Amino acid sequence: MPSRLLPTSFLAITLLASAQTQTKPKYPAFPSETPAAPTIPAASHDYTRRVVMIPMRDGIRLNTIILIPNSATPAAHAPILITRTPYSAAILTTNSQSSHLGSSLFGYDNAIDVIVDGGYIRVIQDVRGKYGSEGDYVMNRPFHGPLNPTPVDHATDTYDTIDWLIKNVPESNGKVGILGISYDGFTTLAALVHPHPALKVAVPMNPMVDGWRGDDWFHNGAFRQQNMSYIYEQDGSRSNDLRWWTSNFDDYDMFLNATSAGELGRQRGLDQMGFWRKVKEHPAYDSFWQNQAMDQILAAQPLTVPTLLVHSLWDAEDIYGAMAVYKALKPKDTATGTPNEKLFLAMGPWHHGGSIDDGSTLGAIRFNQDTSLWFRKNVLGPFLARNLKDESPDASPIAPVTVYESGADIWQKLPSWPAVCTEAPNSVPAAQPCATPPARLYLQPNGTLSFTAPASANSDFTEYVSDPMKPVPFRARPIQPVCYDAGCTWANWLADDQREQSGRPDVAVFSSEVLTKPVTISGEPIANLIASTSGTDSDWVVKLIDVYPDEVASQPKMGSYQLMISADIFRGRYRESLSTPQPIPANTPEPYRFALPNANHVFEPGHRIMVQVQSSWFPLYDRNPQTYVPTIFEAKPADYRKATQHLYHSPTQPSYIEVPMVTVP
């Protein structure tokens, strides 16, 4: 054995000796042209950029970029606006290589006019485990507790970050605000859990709140499979450089060919990602999802920080979250006995994150103003200034609720949401009339729709056949992946024309007569279906739609346009319990009751109200095989079967939509 090692040892000694004899350079030293520590002349930029690694209580350091406008000095202090993100602080602060702060920030999650005009110190930080930050990454890292045995979470990281900033940024006035969109809206909400005393304001915009009830991962049990690419890239690497790939020009074909989301995940190697495994292990609303629901977490906390929730009425990603948090926190907004002191709500006619974008249009829909600019000037800017500036700002306090009324194209200032029958405070002018009790918009025989209950039993139900091999597309094909680059239209799909779907035989359509006076809804519609299926499981999609007149002189392309006002999906196995799925008894009428997203809309005279009901919304949501299986992630090709669906509309078994009415026709 030793004789076999001798040559290797001899070789190692020889190489070491050779290396030692070559320590002297072969050529003369030639000075490098690169400076050891380059500096940028201060006069060339209107801001200073600092990159620091802020230590957390467990020793992990988080990459943090601080942009200080030249107007902020140790003698002229300015507030701090922070965003905590998994999307790269470096990218979000260098959208262009510019000497101007606004140009450098212009892009995602930066309300440029508010930040720059307000003179704020801008801080963006990578969350732990992403990009330049140390530590381990966990999707929407749960708070310390059953799902997170470590002592650190987004609340503690935010606290430690704010504590460091106010002690180490001499240009700061000691007041900090936090804001962010989507995931960054989730981290904004997390800051409200045991908040730092220097945190004076929070603006969660379109936040991720409950991944099962109605945000990114499921809607009422139906899995949003087009977000698999997000899980793959976000969970796959620190810098999101592991990229999902397409295999078909049309996402409809890609997902259909794979059969189930679980099978597509296996084909793509998604099972390597920890969060994907958790999603598959928890298809029902069990403690895994319940313990992470931010609305419930915040409901158990005192409300001490002024908070402005920002909601988009056509949010294709997180349409559930902001409204759920508002509902949970509204009863707590009386800490000093004075209501409307800490909690505020703004709702606009936007897509996801549209409040910092151009708000003049939404897909094909045109508004009479830039609604996003109006919001930033009249709501966001004044709200931040009043809570963060040292001087008393001239801006009046904002209304408790500021909401855009689509259809009428006006902004409203309300005392609460939805409007309640109490006198509005003096600071809230132009409050809308009190909402009446919900009206019932009944499905009727022969595809009609009215506010009058069915009076005849001549036609008890409307029938259609749902074929999971030919699922109803959620938008016109070819269907793009979820994307945000130039040419991508994903963000606006909720405002797509629904005519293609209304012409399919597997979509039940109910339409009102042409309206002779306006019908206004303000609040959360509730679907109440009495339905049966010949299968043992089924999805139910309900869409409330505004049908434009046959011709619109000012916008010819809007003639007969079918605009979704509120829509959602419900997986039938959860009709009795969201946490315990059960098969549906075949050919048996069953009740299905579920909420649709909030709306604030006027159906104008000359328009019609339409309701569409279908049993697939593909490929945004995975297909229900319509045969009960323990988990649809593992459904096999033989499980996917046609089913005959009945929607009942008899006097004894009526199906209807509860609509929160302000005006009744």
Distance of CA 367 to the CA centre of its chain: 23
Whose tokens are 């397409």? That residue is 246
For residue 232 the two structure tokens come to: 């793959």
Band of pLDDT at residue 436, cut at 50, 70 and 90: low
Residue 567 predicted with pLDDT over 70: yes
Burial of 423 (0-12, 13-18, 19+ CB in 10 A): exposed
Distance of CA 387 to the CA centre of its chain: 26
Pairing between β-strand 526-533 and β-strand 656-659 as defined by DSSP bridges? antiparallel
Q: Residue 574's closest CA among 538, 627, 544?
A: 538
For residue 73 the two structure tokens come to: 């000095």
C-alpha separations of 93 from 52, 110, 123, 241 in Å: 14, 9, 9, 19
Mean pLDDT of 282-302: 97
Check if the beta carbon of residue 197 is closer than 8 Å to that of residue 219: no
Residue 481 predicted with pLDDT over 90: yes
Backbone angles phi, psi at 520, to 5 degrees: -115, 130
pLDDT at 39: 80
Residue 428 predicted with pLDDT over 90: no
Residue 185 predicted with pLDDT over 90: yes
Q: What is the pLDDT of residues 514-539, one digit of tens each?
A: 999 999 999 999 999 999 999 999 99
For residue 90 the two structure tokens come to: 């470096």
pLDDT at 201: 98
Q: Residue 663's closest CA among 468, 419, 337, 453?
A: 419
Residue 646 predicted with pLDDT over 80: yes
Residue 10 predicted with pLDDT over 50: no
From CA 210, how far away is CA 214, in angstroms rounded?
A: 6
Residue 22 predicted with pLDDT over 70: no
C-alpha separations of 167 from 50, 119, 127, 336, 355 in Å: 15, 20, 20, 30, 32
Band of pLDDT at residue 457, cut at 50, 70 and 90: low
pLDDT at 174: 97
Q: What is the pLDDT of residues 54-76, one digit of tens each?
A: 999 999 999 999 999 999 999 89
pTM comes to 0.92
Amino acid of residue 530: I
From CA 490, how far away is CA 492, in angstroms rounded?
A: 6
Kindly state the DSSP code that residue 376 receives in the 8-state scheme.
I
Q: What is the pLDDT of residues 541-553, one digit of tens each?
A: 999 999 999 999 9
Residue 6 predicted with pLDDT over 50: no
C-alpha dihedral over 633, 216, 563, 644, to 10 degrees?
Answer: 20
pLDDT at 30: 78
Side-chain-side CA neighbours of 196 within 13 Å: the count stands at 24
Check if the beta carbon of residue 490 is closer than 8 Å to that of residue 663: no
pLDDT at 393: 57
Share of the chain above pLDDT 70, in %: 91
Side-chain-side CA neighbours of 645 within 13 Å: the count stands at 26
Q: What is the mean pLDDT of the chain?
A: 91
Q: 474-505 burial, b for 16+ CB within 10 Å, e for fewer?
A: bbeeebbbbeeeeeeebbbbbbbbbeebbeee
C-alpha separations of 580 from 48, 77, 245, 275, 478 in Å: 55, 55, 35, 22, 36
Check if the beta carbon of residue 610 is closer than 8 Å to that of residue 510: yes
Mean pLDDT of 140-159: 97
**DSSP assignment string, 160-201:** HHHHHHHHH-TTEEEEEEEEEETHHHHHHHHTTSS--TTEEE
Q: What is the pLDDT of residues 85-96, one digit of tens each?
A: 999 999 999 988
**Higher pLDDT, residue 35 or 379:** 379
Kindly state the DSSP code that residue 148 receives in the 8-state scheme.
B
Residue 663 predicted with pLDDT over 70: no
pLDDT at 14: 47
Among 115-119, 143-147, 425-429, 569-573, the range scoring the smallest mean pLDDT is 425-429
